[in-house]
Structure 1
């Protein structure tokens, strides 16, 4: 599977020309990757002379266009499926949301909407706000609030602080230490 990378366009100076090897070194890539970029539309100054030179502004524009092409806009009620790489709707019965304590701005709290992809069955996540979830409910989406499940043990016997141990627990410990408990 291809490795997705973030290429920062500002790593290249716009008014300078670069060889393919220099571009590969800047972005820590193999030179064949940069040669593939030429096949994908990266413009070269002059194809008749070697080494090939590329303007920094051309590299910047190419990388920004590549990033723009990967983005997907979501309509209301859609999630981005990481398996299908497309905006998808969730199975209506499997939509729920979790409230987090994180704030978005001054008053809005973050809410994570969770669903299941209709096509592949993958879990879908949408980071949203209280206001957007209220709009989803008005449009007819049925959202179920997920309960928070805390896993713990109330009767923990790892009381090692001698100051807070009760007298009854001290006696139990003495009996156990003497071996008469079993």
Structure 2
């Protein structure tokens, strides 16, 4: 499974050699070399390979954006199926965790395992138009 990488330590106005960039992003050197093969720009073709910080940040933020999979209001991500699925019977339970939001629990429509989704309390009326939601808990 792919691990998330850190971008906060990478400075835009600094140049990095491959080991330095690997340390800043908290990944292995092989991972940085794979990023270069995947299209991250380098300064030139000479050794040592140097990557500018702003080029690394552009590449990694684009990569993070491509990995996002937004789901519809009635969909949950099922970890067993590894896909977004509709709730079984269009039913879900809402457990408030704070005043501002809570957790929506439902069963997967395909494999019937439990799926969770954190939502904001302001989104609950819109979700109730699509799903039959029962509130559980005491908040």
**Structures share a fold, TM > 0.5?**
yes
Other structure's SS at 1:6 match: coil
State the shift of 1:51 in Å. 0.7
Deviates more, 1:38-47 or 1:50-59: 38-47
Q: Return the match for 2:112 from 121, 125, 150.
A: 121
Pairwise CA RMSD: 2.4
Instruction: Spell out, residue by residue over 1:25-80, the C-alpha distance to the aligned partner (whole angstroms, 9 max, x if none).
Output: 22232211111111222111112x11111111111011111111111112121122
Unaligned runs of 5+ residues in structure 2 are none
Q: Secondary structure at the match of 1:50?
A: coil
Contact 1:72–1:86, Cα closer than 8 Å, also in 2? no
> Could you tell me how far 1:89 is from its partner in structure 2?
0.9
C-alpha deviations, 1:141-160, integer Å up to 9, x for none? 22334478xxxxxxxxxxxx
Q: Which consecutive residues of structure 1, in runs of 5 or more, have no partner in the other structure?
A: 105-109, 149-182
Q: Larger Rg: 1 or 2?
A: 1
Cα distance between partner residues in 1 of 2:55 and 2:22: 15
More strand by share: 2
Identify which of structures 1 and 2 has the higher relative contact order when contacts are C-alpha pairs closer than 8 Å and 6+ apart: 2
Residue 112 (structure 1) aligned to one of 83, 103, 112:
103
Residues 16/97 of structure 1: CA separation in 2 closer, same or farther (3 Å cut): same
**In structure 2, distance between residues paired with 1:50 and 1:111:** 52
CA drift at 1:96: 2.9
Of 46, 59, 67, the residue aligned with 2:56 is 59
SS of the residue aligned with 1:64? helix
Give deviations 1:2-34, integer Å, cap 9, x for gaps.
3522322x3122122211111112223221111
